Amino acid sequence: MIGRLNHVAIAVPDLEAACAQYRDALGAAVGAPQAEPGHGVTVVFIALPNTKIELLHPLGPDSPIAGFLQKNPAGGIHHVCYEVEDILAARDRLVSAGARVLGSGEPKTGAHGKPVLFLHPKDFNGCLVELEEV
């Protein structure tokens, strides 16, 4: 059901410093910051040959990433995103298998302009999972 790894998301306390580290120390292609008010974050995508890294920074104090950074002040891996061909079919299959979809259970538009859903980390070995329709 799941396809390729789309990205690994890392919450960062200082977006500019994290971008500089990936660009200058690692020589990666770092994209421009992109505000995602519907998700409460600013994102920056880093292109790799086989996937992407998504840097996440809170847009405000009510952002879920602000809460994550309070618990993890240095930042850390926030979620992994897998591609699926049909997000509604994937959701229905996962729910029937006992997985919990976060929020309303309906897809939202993600940073790539495509439908996304998040799955409860307690159902996936402590890892928050994002599904993105391709």
Catalytic site residues? Answer: 130
Residue type, 72: N
Q: How far apart are CA 108 and CA 103, in angstroms?
A: 10
Q: What sections of the chain are H helices per DSSP?
A: 15-20, 64-71, 87-96
Angle at 69 between CA 64 and CA 70, to 5 degrees: 100
Contacts of 89 (CB under 8 A, 6+ apart): none
Indicate the helix (H) or strand (E) that contains 34: strand 34-36
